[in-house]
Amino acid sequence: MRERNKNPDSTRFVVRIDSESTHGYQVRLPIQGKQVSKFFSDGIFGGKRAAKKAAIEYRNKRCKTLKIPMNNQRIIHRRDSRNSSGHVGVSVLWRTVGDYQHKYFVASWTPKPGKPQKRKSFSATKYGDKKALQMAINYRKKMEQDILGVSKNK
């Protein structure tokens, strides 16, 4: 896959847009699992520098209010209406083998952005519902710590 060149006028959550009729900066923030945006036009703000300054001030204020990390730390804790277990990154999976249905709790994670998702399943038939669910939750938390580089001793 070809890497995109990063726009030197863009920063975290602030992107430069230059098209035929649109010139300015757009702030794109992840809020409650959705991307919310606000546009800062060069024409309205009196030029490229002023529009960028206004966009960055808006971004900083919103990030502080919403407690969105400004570093490049990945944001993992996002709720999804399709979640079947009630825990982020853990789902319930049913597999049919012959005449039998087997229930699994599956921990899923993405090691790096753009890489394939990985999964590990824990059998409810083998461990029981409570233990298999807890094993999947614990494994998912371990993978989050590995991805974010968090030590257990901290």
- Provide the token pair at 47: 């030029």
Residue 17 vs residue 85, higher pLDDT: 17
Q: Which residue has the tokens 């992107």?
A: 15
Q: How far apart are CA 96 and CA 99, in angstroms?
A: 7
* Structure confidence by residue, pLDDT tens digits, 105-147: 999 988 887 788 899 999 998 999 999 999 999 999 898 888 8
The answer, yes or no, to whether residue 21 has pLDDT greater than 60, is: yes
Q: How far apart are CA 7 and CA 14, in angstroms?
A: 10
Using CA atoms, how far residue 103 sits from 39, 93, 100, in Å, is 47, 6, 10
Task: State the pLDDT confidence band at 154, using cuts at 50, 70 and 90.
Answer: very low
SS3 43: helix
Domain ranges of the chain: 14-66, 90-148
* Structure confidence by residue, pLDDT tens digits, 42-100: 999 999 999 999 999 999 998 888 777 776 555 555 556 666 667 788 888 888 888 88
- Provide the token pair at 10: 């863009």
Residue 6 vs residue 118, higher pLDDT: 118
Residue 95 vs residue 9, higher pLDDT: 95
pTM comes to 0.49
